[in-house]
Structures are given as structure tokens and as C-alpha cells.
Amino acid sequence: MGKGIPKRFFGNVNTNDTGDNRNTDTNSLNEGIGGQGVTGFSASNGGNYINRLPTISSFGAPSLPGGQQATGVLHSNAQNASPNTKGSGYQINDILTDANGSRWKVTKLRVVSATLNPSGTNSIWDGTEWIVWDQFINSHWTSPTILKGVTANGSHQLTGYNAGISTYGVWDGTDGTLAPTTAQTIVAGPGAGSMTPNYNTRASGDYNGSGTGDNNGGGGSVTFTYGVEAVVLVSSIDYAYGTSYAFGSADTTTDSGSGTGAKLDVGFCVSYLQVTDPGSGYIGTETITFSTAPNGGEIRAVGTLTYTTDDGRPYDAEAFPAIIAYAKTTSGGTNKIADINKQQSTRKYKVTTTDGTAFCTLKAGAPTTVGEMSITATDSSGKTYYVTKITRHLATLTPYGSSGWEFSTDSRAQWVVGTATPVYGVSVKLQSA
């Protein structure tokens, strides 16, 4: 038959660690099978998993018969968080370090207590006013703090408020503006309602007002204490699946300031796959499926496996692309993807499918009978062919599919594999992996 096809095109040299050599290569890393090994994954969507790490629910098995399943450890990053316990004593720009070592910056605060400082009151408090801090007092109050049920003594001096029905609002410091921590003076209204009040006391005619009386109570002050309302990620540790971490109510934090008690619900996304065994027999069509996201706060990750490629190293140290075939090897089997073990002639090969191993002959069509096999090729225009004969440099072709082929039936063309590009009217690319 003249010079045969170089063994590297079907006696592949995938990098692997099993030492399972089906051919005569002495390299202990030679898997002796076509296809590739897994190098990791590329995530088009890293997902969002709350208080748990994403997992791999289905790791694509190798397509080629005899291939070895790849294995690896999934790593993740923290990406967002919200407090499940707000704590007390925090300020904008405080840095929280969670129980695992990831770091978060405080960007929003919520009032958790308001302390009344009644000394110096000098106006009439009749119990009908509300005391309000909202966007009209300062634009950073994105939801208002409203002290309701204001109380006074017999001389109309402010004595307190009913915290049980009051509303504690949010200070948005995303732009870095600190929340007020000094005593905030209570400024009385002019006695008539306003929809854009620049004073704290509010009556029925004022924005956020609901009293039935006036708004002329004034004097005294209020001091606020804040808990954590929102954070942004500063830095994440590397979370490796299989390692124990603290999540949710167990995720206690330490503060760069004086705040205490905040705990975080953390959202995680997939980061990378630490490949512990690249496997063999992959052809670039297998998938990776990440764990599902069971509730509305979570998003399932989406990704695809990545593979070894022809890297230019010597053949005994790389995953060189091997020719892919399809064959029917047993009477009870079907036409399946095959790995070529050995060339017997330009038309006949020893191949293996998941049904078994047999000597099969090339056919210009899909195999239907035991002992038939097919190899396909593509020209530079994307038109397809069945290959009926292969020598060291040339392939004999039979067109199939749509019209417009560059080669007619029984034409011979040079062949390439891997990432090589066919040349118009000169060469075709054999299916390979």
C-alpha cells in the first residue's frame, strides 16, 4: 500500500497519567487514543449560588471509545452579599471581613436605633408632628427615617417617640459620603404644609406627614446608630469545593471600624476547574453541567469544557489531532464513533467503538453493515465528502450533501487535520480531534 498514514494520526499521544499504551510509544503519558484531554472550562455565565458553592452535576464523558473520564476540583469566587443580620455601629466605607476571609465594603446603611436628645427644646410639641429625615433633608436618605408618636410633657417639651411604630430608613453612601453620626437638630416647620420641606417636623400637609395638627414643634436633636444595609466585594478568597466554609448565619464578620454583629448571605459564582486528571478521548463536543439553582435568588452557571490542542511540541509530548471515524463493528451494534487503532490498507483499518473492535473498510456513506466505516472531509468552501481511500498525503473523495463541491467523485486531494485550513481546489480537512 506504499507509505501509510503516520501513526500519530490515529495512535494519538494525549497527555495523560494512566500509562495505558495501546500502541508502541514508550512515553508513559501516551493514552494511545484519539481526541483530547480536558484543561478546564469556559463559563459564559458563572451563576449565582446563595450560601453554597456550585457543583458539577454532570462532567462530560469522553466521546471516543476507550477514553478516560477527566476529573477535577471546582473552584468558586464570592461575588455579592447582603446582610441577614445588620449589626450595629457601622459607617460607610467600613471594610467587613467575613468568616472565610473575603472582604466587603459597606455602601449603604440602615438606621437601627435613634436616640432622642430632648435638652434645649423651646417650641410647642403637641404630639401631632412626625420627625422625618428623608431626601428633602439630604439626598442620601433614599428611604426615610420617620419618628412617629412624638410625646411631650405638660409644658410641651419633647420627651420621646414611639419607636414601635416608627420607620428606620436607608442612607445610601455608594458615592462614599458618610452618614451623619453627630446629633441632628430637629428643625421646626413654618406652620403650613409643604411637598418639598427642608425641615424635620411634618404635619398632614407635608410630604410623609400624617398628623392632624401643626408642624411647629422644634428643638432638641436625634443621634442615629446604623447597621449594614448593602456591601460590595473588595476581594474574594479562592473557594475550593470539598473544603468547609461558613455560610449565612454562621458567616460572622469583623469590621475595620467599630461595627459589630453583621452577618452576610453570600452569592458565589464558578471560577475555574482545577484539573486533576485531563482524561482522554474527548473531541470537543462534550458538555459540563453545573448544579441547578433552586430558588429565585440563584442563577445556574453555564459553561463548556476546554481541551488540549496541538501545541507544536514533539509528538510524544502533546495531544496531536487524530482522524475520527464512524463504524459498525458488531452485528448487534450500530454505527458509532470510532477510534482508529491500526491501518491495514488504504481502505481498511482496525477500529474500536463502544460495541467492540473490528477491521472495517471505508464506505462512501454511513455504515450499515458490520465491517463498514466512514471518514468525512470538508473543503475550503465548507462542502462535505466521504473519504474512500487515504494514502500518506492524498484522500480519494465522494461528494455528499449540497452542491458546489471543489472536487468531483473519485477525485484525489491533499488532506490536513487539526487547525490547518484547506486550500481551495488543493486540499480537504479530515474530521479529527
Grid coordinates representing 188? Answer: 421646626
Least confident of 35-49, 149-163, 214-228, 289-303: 149-163
Give every CB contact of residue 45 below 8 A, 6+ residues apart in sequence: 299, 300, 301, 302, 303
Phi and psi dihedrals of 408, rounded to 5? -90, 175
pTM above 0.85, yes or no: no
Q: Is the dihedral of CA 343, 348, 349, 350 positive or negative?
A: negative
| Region 119-132 average pLDDT | 79
341-392 tens-digit pLDDT: 889 999 999 999 999 999 999 999 999 999 999 999 999 999 999 999 999 9
Tell me if 385 sits within 8 A of 407, measured CB to CB. yes
> In this predicted structure, what is the pLDDT of residue 56?
92
Residue 205 has pLDDT above 80, yes or no: yes
The Cα 387–Cα 389 span in angstroms is: 6
Chain-centroid distance of CA 256 in Å reads 29
Per-residue pLDDT band for 319 (boundaries 50, 70, 90) equals low
Give every CB contact of residue 157 below 8 A, 6+ residues apart in sequence: 118, 121, 125
Percent of the chain with pLDDT over 90: 61
Pseudo-torsion of CA 189, 192, 195, 199, nearest 10°? 0
Residue with cell 474574594: 236
Residue 272 has pLDDT above 60, yes or no: yes
Which one is predicted more confidently, 63 or 76?
76
Please report the beta strands in 238-347, taking only residues with DSSP state E, as ranges in sequence order.
239-240, 254-255, 263-277, 287-290, 302-307, 324-328, 336-343
CB atoms inside a 10 Å sphere around CB 393:
12
Tell me if 78 sits within 8 A of 251, measured CB to CB. no
For the chain, the domains span: 73-273
Chain-centroid distance of CA 228 in Å reads 26
Per-residue b or e along 90-106, where b marks 16 or more CB atoms closer than 10 Å to that residue's CB: bbbebbbbbbbebbbbb
Residue 55 to residues 172, 237, 269, 300, Cα–Cα distance (Å) = 35, 17, 10, 10
The Cα 3–Cα 193 span in angstroms is: 99
Residue 157 has pLDDT above 70, yes or no: yes
Residue with cell 492524498: 394
Q: In what order do the strands lie in the sheet with 287-290?
A: 38-45, 302-307, 287-290, 56-59
The Cα 44–Cα 59 span in angstroms is: 16
Give every CB contact of residue 266 below 8 A, 6+ residues apart in sequence: 50, 51, 78, 80, 81, 98, 102, 247, 251
48-67 tens-digit pLDDT: 999 999 999 888 889 888 88
